[in-house]
C-alpha cells in the first residue's frame, strides 16, 4: 500500500475505480443484452410449444394480459391457419413450500388442459421438485382433464388431484397456479 491515505487520494481512488467498473459493466451489458433477451424468448417459446397443440402463428406476438385475483397473467393464443387450437397461460402462485412457483399451462380450444410445465420453482429437491416434468411424471395427470369436471385441488382437500407423497404443500400450490390459469383462460374468452 504505497499511497498515503489522504482525503483527496481516497476520494480520487474510489472515484476512478467505480468509474472504471461501471464503464466496463455498461459495455458488457450492451454486449449481452440481445443474447439474454433471445435466450429468455427461446425459453418461453419452448415452454409454449411444450404445452399446447401444434400451431403455426406467433403466440408471443398475440399475447394479452388478463387480471385474475389481483394478479396479471399472460395468455398466449395458439392458432393453426387462423383457427384457434389452444392457448398457453403463464401463471404463478406464491403458495409454494419455498414461495414462488411459475407454470405454463396449455389449454386446448375446448377448455381441457393439454399439458402443464413448470417454468420456475424453489421446491425442496427430491420432494416438492417432483412437480417438474424432468423429475417425475406427476404433472401428467392434468393432461386431458377439464377443470370444470376435474376439481383442481388435492384429494386431501376434497379435490381430484393425487398429491405428491410428502409434498402436499407443493402439490396444493401447483393446483392453485393451474386453477388461476384456467380462470384467465375463461376470462380471456378466446375464440
Partner 1 sequence: MKQWQNFSKGFIKDNPVFALFLGLCPTLAVTTSAYNGLGMGLATTFVLVMSNLVVSIIKNLIPGKVRIPTFIVVIASFVTMVEMLTEAFVPDLYEQLGIFIPLIVVNCLVLGRSEAFASKNDIFSSIIDGLGMGLGFAMALTVLGAVREILGSGSFTLIPDVIEFTLYQGDGMLVFVLAPGAFLALGYLIMLADKLKKKMY
Closer by beta carbon to partner 1, 56 or else 94: 94
Q: Is 36 in the site for partner 1 (CB under 8 A)?
A: yes
Dig out the grid coordinates for 178 from the structure. Answer: 393451474
Q: Is 1 in the site for partner 1 (CB under 8 A)?
A: yes
Tell me the Ramachandran region of residue 41: left when phi exceeds 0, alpha when psi lies from -120 to 50, beta otherwise.
Answer: alpha
* DSSP string for 32-68: HHHHHHHHHHHHHHHHHHHHS----S-TTTS-EEEEE
Closer by beta carbon to partner 1, 6 or else 191: 6
Give the 3-state secondary structure of residue 148: coil
Closer by beta carbon to partner 1, 81 or else 137: 137
Out of 99, 126, 144, 148, which residue is the one contacting partner 1 (CB under 8 A)? 126
Q: Is 5 in the site for partner 1 (CB under 8 A)?
A: yes
Q: Which residues bind partner 1 (CB under 8 A)?
A: 1-6, 9-10, 13-14, 17-18, 21, 24-25, 28-29, 31-32, 35-36, 39-40, 42-43, 124-127
Amino acid at each position: 500500500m504505497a499511497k498515503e491515505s489522504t482525503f483527496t487520494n481516497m476520494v480520487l481512488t474510489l472515484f476512478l475505480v467505480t468509474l472504471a467498473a461501471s464503464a466496463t459493466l455498461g459495455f458488457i451489458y450492451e454486449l449481452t443484452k440481445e443474447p439474454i433477451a433471445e435466450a429468455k424468448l427461446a425459453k418461453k417459446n419452448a415452454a409454449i410449444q411444450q404445452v399446447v397443440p401444434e400451431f403455426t402463428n406467433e403466440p408471443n406476438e398475440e399475447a394479452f394480459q388478463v387480471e385474475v385475483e389481483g394478479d396479471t397473467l399472460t395468455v398466449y393464443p395458439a392458432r393453426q391457419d387462423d383457427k384457434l387450437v389452444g392457448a398457453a397461460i403463464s401463471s404463478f402462485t406464491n403458495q409454494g413450500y419455498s414461495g414462488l412457483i411459475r407454470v405454463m399451462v396449455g389449454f386446448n380450444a375446448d377448455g381441457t388442459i393439454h399439458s402443464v410445465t413448470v417454468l420456475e420453482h424453489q421446491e425442496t429437491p427430491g420432494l416438492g421438485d417432483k412437480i417438474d416434468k424432468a423429475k417425475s411424471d406427476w404433472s401428467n395427470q392434468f393432461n386431458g382433464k377439464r377443470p370444470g369436471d376435474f376439481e383442481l385441488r388435492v384429494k386431501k382437500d376434497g379435490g381430484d388431484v393425487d398429491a405428491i407423497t410428502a409434498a402436499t404443500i407443493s402439490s396444493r400450490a401447483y393446483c392453485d397456479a393451474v386453477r388461476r390459469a384456467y380462470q384467465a383462460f375463461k376470462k380471456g374468452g378466446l375464440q
